[in-house]
Chains A and B, each alone.
Chain A
Amino acid sequence: MGNASYLAVAFEGILLIGALVVLLVAVVAGRSRAVWAPIAGASFLLAALAGVLQWIEVENGGGGMFFSAQNLQVIKSPMVVLDGFSAMASIVLGLVGFTAMLGSWDLVAKVGKRSAEFVALSLLAFAGLHMMAATPNLVVIFIGLETASISFYVLAGFIRADVKSDESALKYFLLGSLASALFLYGIALTFAATGSLTIYGVNSIRDFFSETVVSDPGILLVGMALMLVGLMFKISAAPFHQWAPDVYQGAPSGAVGLMAAGVKIAGFAALGRIFVGGFISQIDTWGPIVAVIAALSMVIGTTMALVQTDMKRLVAYSGVAHSGYLLLTLLAGVEGMSAMWFYLATYPFMIVGTFAIISTVSGPTSTSSPIEAMRGLSRRSPEMGWLLAIFMFGMSGMPFFAGFVGKILAFIAAGDAGYIWLVVVATLTTVIGFAFYLRVVATVFSGEDDDTTMIDPTLSSRFAVVIGATVTVVFGIVPWILIDVVRDALPL
């Protein structure tokens, strides 16, 4: 148990301590929001810094597996793994969490006494999300998934008296717990088939596949399929996406950025860890299924987004389509991981920024946000209008924005894996997708407007939006900086 083992859990540790301090301050000193802002911000930034240290440690060859069963000669059942993959997850989750917290701050300022709960739950949720990326053990992945999900159920229903918020919470809860149960059953069946719950180590799932020729894979197939379905629910890939628009719309605008961005990152990190890290030898089995789900997500997400009138539902359906693009990177196996991390390091910032703008325009506690509310935004608040246009261009995959590079990398990954038909579908949906993104931009810049009230965004949401837009633009113009980095973000 050297220093590296503490570094491996530093992200979770920092966020846990941050959450405990917030609750302690709330108990001892009563309400004082001014204290929680620095605690929450410092926790996320320190966690991201821990991620950078983890990255350096891995670059110097110091990674590995930690917290294995004691008193055994060999690493038998590691609980935490430190590699480029988990270090990258720390950095991305820490920075996205920091930005999303800034975007949520208007909401925190409005919920009064319960703001301590909001901050603590956000911190704990992100700790859980990182657990999903940084463990080779399916048990710990499940615990992380539940930690994050349970926190997010509460955040979705945070405005208790609003009928949309509570509906959103119940829908998220019922479908989320169903997904968790399916995922868990998948873990149980995988355990039965392979005799192991760990991906790496001795007697692990990888050892099982390298030693055994799977001739009669019935139970293993069902296990993998159920785990896949459970995670697809979480990342809202079609046809498991029905909850997403309702939950995004009904949850308070200030909290959605946090939820949506975090779950996307961790869901795909867990998919990468389990299916590329553990089941890579079975890629011929799960590959076609993922390909079909990706195609469905892209088509359904794009077509449904065309007819939306609510901004939050539109972003939800575009998120379904983006899940499809992200799934393309899984098909390429280990080679696709760098494309996945490029996408995951840029797209969540666009989500967070977009929701920060929605929260500014429609109010942080609002549970609906019609696109019409954005009309004339370029004049009512020029910076918000222009930056929303940047996010829309970024999401649509316009050249010179980060979304374009992410999509191209994903398409190349899928093309290399031999799924040419999928690349064709992806290209077509991207082109069709321009329609609804540009519709939003057109509304923002539209000439005639009845509502000329100026919008004065708060400092925190300004920061959130500017950080998001910076990421979108910088990595769109000079993507090779990030591409060079994510090249090493591989699972062990």
Chain B
Amino acid sequence: MTIIQFVLLGTALFSMGLYGVITRKNAVLVLASVELMLAAVNINLVSFDAYLADQLHAGQMLALFVIALAAAEVGIGIAIVLMIYRNRQTADVDALSEMKG
């Protein structure tokens, strides 16, 4: 196993997440795609950390913080999506067109 395989995995996951954010219509799935992007970053961080043999393990530390922040973000995100659903009976992001211009 070399660093390149992990980085490829991370890049692929990140690209899938980005694709999902752009194309998905359901807000929950967009949220899931963002989480996928953050997971990809975590894979990258941990593998770079191992590859660089960083004494302070800065990469691993950042990965742990990312997990915690992602949880906070998903908590807020789900709350906002539920609020949208309550108000409109749909979680379709294309339905959000109250404001234009």
Contacts and interface: CB of A to CB of B under 8 A. Distances in A.
Is any CB of A less than 8 Å from a CB of B in the complex? yes
Contacts of A249: 99
Interface string B1-39: 000000100100010011001000001001100100110
A139 to B, nearest CB: 5
Nearest to A304: B101
B69 A310 contact: no
Nearest to A317: B101
Contact of B27 (A161, A168, A170, A308): A170
Given A69-B56, A188-B41, A173 B101 contact: no
Interface residues of B, number: 44
A173 B34 CA distance: 11
A179 B80 CA distance: 18
A405 B45 CA distance: 44
A246 B58 contact: no
Given A188-B45, A191-B45, A150 B101 contact: no
Prevailing SS type, chain B contact patch: helix
B10 to A, nearest CB: 8
Range for the number of chain A residues in contact with chain B: 35 or more
B83 A169 contact: yes
Given A174-B27, A197-B62, A160 B83 contact: yes
Contact of B61 (A139, A160, A185): A139
A475 B7 CA distance: 51
A139 B34 CA distance: 19
Contacts of B58: 77, 139, 191, 196-198
B37 A191 contact: no
Contacts of A143: 65, 69
A163 B84 CA distance: 8
Chain A CB count within 10 A is highest, among B18, B93, B101, for B101
Given A139-B62, A188-B41, A195-B54, A153 B99 contact: no
Nearest to B66: A184
B65 A181 contact: no
A181 B17 contact: yes
A192 B96 CA distance: 39
B29 to A, nearest CB: 11
Contacts of B93: 170, 174
A164 B84 CA distance: 10
Interface of B: 7, 10, 14, 17-18, 21, 27, 30-31, 34, 37-38, 40-41, 44-45, 48-49, 51-52, 54, 56, 58-59, 61-62, 65-66, 69, 72-73, 76-77, 80-81, 83-84, 87-88, 93, 96, 98-99, 101
Given A166-B80, A167-B99, 18 more contacts: A76-B56, A143-B65, A146-B73, A153-B76, A170-B27, A170-B81, A174-B31, A174-B34, A181-B34, A184-B38, A184-B66, A191-B52, A192-B51, A196-B58, A198-B58, A245-B101, A250-B98, A307-B101
